[in-house]
Structure 1
Amino acid sequence: MNPIALILLAFAMSTDAFAAAIGKGASLKKPQFSEALRTGLIFGSIEAITPLIGWLIGKSAAAYVQAWAHWIAFLLLLALGLHMIYEGLRPHSDEIEKPARHSFITISLTALGTSIDSMAVGIGLAFINVNIWIAASLIGLATTLMVTLGVMIGGTVNALLGHRAEVFGGLTLIAVGIWILSGHIAIKYV
């Protein structure tokens, strides 16, 4: 795989994380760059690790993982999205403020949900001539950049939508999950 193809692959793998990051940023109170970068680094690290895991699995059990990866991603993102919608719709007193940052667990679960497709890509990369370490590093770097930008954009959405920004974030996560699921289902039946 040539370097241009690897870079395009890296940014393609970061698009769903970017969309999820906008939702995450929307649910924060005025996200600072340091929080956006922290979120980007967590997403990027997980997104870099999952193709390595996929590559290892690809050497042994590709058919099993490919059959279920899109369902796992969909269910994780659906659950997180529904929770965010619930939080956005429940009554808020004016005293309760949005958090300045998300917990490590919340960010990691969202990142895991958006990185399942990278694991599937890692499985595919196991069957072609590619340096998996370079590919995983590029995917992680692209995701870090895109998620950092997404969280900052999400802060603008938050300023426009107020408490309901969390509903937007939840709907975004669910949409990303549906997009992942429908992409795999469409490929299966084409």
Structure 2
Amino acid sequence: MPVEDVFRRGRLIMPTGRIERGRVREGDEVELVGFDGATAHVTGIDAGEPPMDEACAGMNVGLLLRGVTAGAVEQGQVLAAPGSVAAHAGFAADIILLPEVHGGAEVRTGERLQFHVRTAVVSGVVTSIEDTEALQPLHQGAVTVALERTVALEVGQSFAFRHHGRAAGSGTVTRLPRGAA
């Protein structure tokens, strides 16, 4: 479940979001993947009335967590079964740039872009794998990306990116480094 927002409920922390796959039950241990990461135990599930003991894919929920502090849970992290998703600070991808009329701009090797992966927004440096130094609007290419912070990533994961504050294009993760970053 990508964390969309974080609330405090007394001494408990409640991240909210939409469950992408699988299910979660009261008492389950979950891992916060990305950024600094942590593990916690689910003490309750808030999906409106009546209270629930279990939630599954497609549901928007709040999970009451014990064992983490408010600062350890951030928008952009992913709650998952321990070990099921890894965090990475770099990846290879195929990207396509928007046309100029829709805000696309030339993207040069070494430029900093803002990457939007699920609910995470992370800056990173792009490097073209091909022989060109720059990708032009409406073109596509293979690149590597070095992120400033780790985020939960999987091969096939889609993302969007911004260049100088404007939407610039989108892409798909094609390869991840071996092991978690």
TM-score normalised over the length of structure 2: 0.23
TM-score normalised over the length of structure 1: 0.22
Which is higher, the Rg of structure 1 or of structure 2? 2
From the two aligned structures, give the one with the greater strand fraction. 2
Answer 1 or 2: higher relative contact order, Cα 8 Å, separation at least 6: 1
